[in-house]
Amino acid sequence: MTTSAPASQLGSHEVLNQPGPRGARDLWAQDQPLRDAAATAGARVDLLASAGQVYGSEDIQQAAEEARRDLPRLKLFDRGGRRLDEVTFHPGYHKVMQAGLGAGYASVAWDGKPCGHVTHAALVYMQMQVEPGAGCPMTMTYAAVPALRHDKALHDLWAPRLTSGVYDPSTRPISQKRGATLGMAMTEKQGGSDVRANTTQAVRDGDAYRLTGHKWFCSAPMCDGFLTLAQAPGGLTCFLVPRWLEGERNAIRLQRLKDKLGNQANASSEIEYHNALAYRLGDEGAGVRTIIEMVHHTRLDTAIAPAALMRAALSEAHHWVSHRSAFQRRLIDQPLMREVLADLTLDMEGALAVSMFMAESFDRDDDASRALARIGVALAKYLSNKRCIPVVGEAMEVLGGMGYVEDTPMPMFYREAPLNSIWEGSGNVICLDILRTLSREPLAGEALASVLDAARGRDARFDAALAAHRARWSSIPPENEARWFAESLASLLTAAALMRVAPDAVVSGYITSRVAADRGQMAGTVAGLETSAILARLDPA
């Protein structure tokens, strides 16, 4: 099919100085920081190279736009008044889901080959640049696999389908499906993050249980099942609740879809269990201990997602300034613009480096690595998400008025920017969890200290900042200092991660501006950045 260029001569004026559409791009080949981090971590380059072309294709980009424009719809009843409790989606949503699962998003970490989690993290990073909402059910499907190991029968039934790489949205019981997704329904309105305040009740029914109660957030109600928490006779317990039973629908009633700020292609909902059939996962009373593995792996994705959003927003901003002029100069050639973009790029580079570093620790099966993963992913999640919102806001401003218009992806990125700071533990929850981990698990502190000590000697400013941190907090700080402590420690960890993968211009710039804090408070208020070297990493072209 032959296509013609849009008309620029409009009679009243000629369209000039407006960057054209970006078209297809390769999210792997055109991302030097990603390729550097993946190479250091030993990620599976062949798989990522293929996925980068798929995610950057015009076909998937268009499907993602359509999935966001034509929002999920709640379908409670059929025409005769029989309950359906289903969600319908635009075909673009299903296309994005198939692309992600087919690339290995939920499966590559569990196929027994080396470096599965770092490869998964890189896939998440590319997915979140295209359609973040569809990432939610895929992330939970990935993260549910280790939690299922608490019950061999459930694991053997569900895990092969969760990791098949097949997307099957049909309404059939798990035994009849080649592929499946698994969601989570924990939060109740009276407790929020305090899941021990949950009131949903579980009553034994033979080898299974029956659940009755309300869930304030069910992250992806179209999934084939949910991990959930309910009060059993022995205390708060984890259950797997299948969506579809043999010949009937389980008694899971969808109440409404949440009208959210962003993440709109994902159908977050409220649900009720009306004597719904459920299978216990782990012991009665061990609900938090059982589901924490799912939460832990989900946090890895919420740590890398802000890097993706920053990357996508800054890439759009760079494209704009490279093809638009003001005051007789290209915007990209103006020193202040270069300073602002280079400064913002440091946050993106840091978020990517530290999250990929933590993904490496998920791939190593030893006590120290597991301890490092627990503390490190919480630190990365906290800092990178707090950086994400102002970075995306500044990138939006680079486009001027166009950045505020839905014809560009910038409003979508801005709406997404706060989400991963809230999901799986908001800022205060994460900071208190960091203190709790260091207090209860000495090995976590030792593993973290080992990483930071290994980075000493390369930059005197880093060494001085590490010494100052340790002098300021020679022991676990009081609760009211948790954010300050976490920010300082996470910044040091990020600098150490950058030393492993990034060139001197990035490492030195990050230490100057984020560790030594020799800067003003706003973006672009740093002296001495090597802007050309930093911006070359943002867009090698």
291-331 pLDDT, tens digit per residue, is: 999 999 999 999 999 999 999 999 999 999 999 998 889 99
Residue 1 is predicted with a pLDDT of: 45
Residue 20 is predicted with a pLDDT of: 84
Q: Which pLDDT band, with edges at 50, 70 and 90, does 3 fall under?
A: low
Q: Which pLDDT band, with edges at 50, 70 and 90, does 541 fall under?
A: low
pLDDT for 175-215, tens place per residue?
999 999 999 998 898 877 788 889 999 999 999 999 999 99
Residue 144 is predicted with a pLDDT of: 97
Residue 302 is predicted with a pLDDT of: 97
pLDDT of residue 396 exceeding 50: yes
Residue 71 is predicted with a pLDDT of: 96
H or E stretch at 440: helix 427-440
Residue 261 per-residue DSSP state: S
pLDDT of residue 148 exceeding 80: yes
Taken in order 332, 335, 337, 339, the sign of the CA dihedral is: positive
Q: Give the dihedral of Cα atoms 238, 383, 534, 360; nearest 10 deg.
A: -40
Q: What is the mean pLDDT of the chain?
A: 95
- Please write down the HEC assignment for all residues of 272-296: EEEEEEEEEECCCCCHHHHHHHHHH
Structure tokens at 330: 């290209």
Q: Which residues fall within 8 angstroms of residue 42, CB to CB, at 6 or more apart?
A: 114, 115, 118, 360
Residue 94 is predicted with a pLDDT of: 98
Q: What is the pTM of this model?
A: 0.96
Residue % of the chain over a pLDDT of 90: 91
For the chain, the structural domain boundaries read 32-285, 289-538
Domain covering 32-285 assigned CATH 2.60.120.380 in the classification: no
Cα-based angle 112, 356, 362 (whole degrees, multiple of 5)? 40
pLDDT of residue 537 exceeding 80: yes
Phi, psi of 509 (to 5 degrees): -65, -40
pLDDT for 159-175, tens place per residue?
999 999 999 999 999 99
Count each helix (H run) and each strand (E run) in the chain, helices first: 18, 13
CA–chain centroid gap for 196, Å, is 25
Task: Report, as an integer, the average pLDDT of 44-55.
Answer: 98
Pick the range with the lowest mean pLDDT from 51-55, 296-300, 420-424.
420-424
The CATH number that domain 289-538 falls under is 1.20.140.10
Taken in order 320, 323, 324, 330, the sign of the CA dihedral is: positive
Pick the range with the lowest mean pLDDT from 94-103, 192-201, 318-327, 462-471.
192-201
H or E stretch at 116: helix 116-130
Rounded to 10°, the helix 132-148/152-162 angle is 150
CA distance 244 to 252: 9
Q: Give the dihedral of Cα atoms 167, 52, 56, 257; nearest 10 deg.
A: 40
Q: Which residues fall within 8 angstroms of residue 537, CB to CB, at 6 or more apart?
A: 32, 33, 345, 349, 503, 506
Task: Report, as an integer, the average pLDDT of 99-114.
Answer: 97
Pick the range with the lowest mean pLDDT from 39-43, 58-62, 245-249, 283-287.
245-249
Task: Report, as an integer, the average pLDDT of 122-132.
Answer: 98
Task: Report, as an integer, the average pLDDT of 470-477.
Answer: 96
Only one residue has tokens 């025409």, namely 79
Cβ pair 225, 180 in contact under 8 A:
yes
Q: Which residues of 122-161 are buried (b: 16+ CB within 10 A; e: fewer)?
A: bbbbbbbbbbbbbbbbbbbbbbbbbbbebbeebbebbbeb
Taken in order 483, 486, 488, 494, the sign of the CA dihedral is: negative
Residue 393 is predicted with a pLDDT of: 98
Taken in order 302, 304, 306, 312, the sign of the CA dihedral is: negative
Q: Which residues fall within 8 angstroms of residue 436, CB to CB, at 6 or more apart?
A: none
CA distance 483 to 434: 10
Task: Report, as an integer, the average pLDDT of 89-117.
Answer: 98
